[in-house]
């Protein structure tokens, strides 16, 4: 069992349950906020503030990447909008693995494994592939089983819970009913 883990953290609410599980196993994670996919700017700031609140309330150390990654993200996904989630996971997990190795952590993981709305198997496979490449371990857990519990905890703590995944494409899908209907029809 690796006891020191760099935990990529996508936001405050999604951190609560994985943190509880890992601490229950005797693992003390250090959070890493690196999310160039979160747009627009005010939403990015708001999610950072929510994670800061969780970190204070749960005594979690976090390494912050505070730069707003709009341009970096869009350059990576342009002309690949339909496959953007794979690109998005890769950007975030690769940076987490890279940082974990350079700081001497034996393992890394991600709170993205908590969300039932993400492509879970893809995340697991990508994490394992990056682990091989960087020569460290990927700590895989299926945190989705605690989704309701984590959301309840966030609600009780009064932590901001976002309404869409993060990028401007997901924001459009969340609020454009016609687009959602079209997508459902084509799937």
Site for ligand SF4 in 52-91 (CB under 6 A): 84-85, 88
Q: What are phi and psi of 68, to 5 degrees?
A: -80, 125
- Residue with Cβ nearer ligand SF4 (92 or 101): 92
Please give the Cα distance from 101 to 145 (Å, whole number).
Answer: 29
- Residue with Cβ nearer ligand SF4 (111 or 170): 170
Retrieve residue 159's tokens. Answer: 């932590």
- Residue with Cβ nearer ligand SF4 (37 or 111): 37
Binding residues for ligand SF4, how many (CB under 6 A)? 9
* Angstrom distances, CA of residue 45 to CA of 13, 31, 37, 54, 55: 15, 17, 12, 14, 15
- Residue with Cβ nearer ligand SF4 (31 or 166): 166
- Residue with Cβ nearer ligand SF4 (76 or 153): 76
Q: What are phi and psi of 20, to 5 degrees?
A: -60, -45
> Minimal distance in Å, beta carbon 36 to ligand SF4?
9
Q: Are 48 and 24 in contact (CB under 8 A)?
A: no
- Residue with Cβ nearer ligand SF4 (85 or 139): 85
Q: How does 145-183 read in b/e, with b if 16+ C-beta sit within 10 Å? A: ebeeebbebbeeeebbebebbbbbbbbeeeeeeeeeeee
Residue 127 is classified by DSSP as H
Site for ligand SF4 in 113-172 (CB under 6 A): 165-167, 169-170
Chain centre distance of CA 120: 12
> Minimal distance in Å, beta carbon 92 to ligand SF4?
8
Given its phi and psi angles, is residue 175 left (phi above 0), alpha (psi -120 to 50 degrees) or beta? alpha
**Binder to ligand SF4 among 9, 37, 111, 162 (CB under 6 A)?**
37
> Minimal distance in Å, beta carbon 73 to ligand SF4?
8
> Minimal distance in Å, beta carbon 88 to ligand SF4?
3
The binding site for ligand SF4 (CB under 6 A) comprises 37, 84-85, 88, 165-167, 169-170
């Amino acid at each position: 069992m690796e006891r020191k883990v760099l935990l990529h953290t996508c936001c405050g609410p999604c951190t609560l349950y994985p943190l509880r599980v890992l601490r229950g196993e005797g693992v003390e994670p250090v959070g890493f906020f690196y999310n160039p996919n979160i747009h627009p700017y005010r939403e990015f700031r708001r999610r950072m503030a929510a994670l800061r609140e969780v970190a204070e309330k749960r005594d979690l150390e976090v390494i912050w990447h505070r730069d707003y990654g709009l341009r970096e993200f869009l350059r990576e996904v342009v002309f690949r909008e339909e496959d953007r989630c794979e690109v998005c996971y890769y950007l975030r997990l690769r940076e987490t693995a890279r940082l974990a190795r350079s700081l001497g952590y034996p393992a890394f993981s991600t709170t993205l494994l908590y969300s039932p709305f993400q492509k879970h198997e893809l995340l697991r496979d990508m994490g394992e592939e990056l682990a091989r490449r960087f020569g460290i371990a990927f700590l895989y857990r299926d945190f989705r089983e605690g989704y309701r519990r984590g959301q309840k905890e966030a609600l009780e703590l009064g932590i901001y819970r976002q309404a869409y995944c993060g990028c401007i494409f997901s924001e459009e899908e969340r609020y454009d009913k016609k687009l959602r209907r079209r997508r459902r029809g084509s799937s």
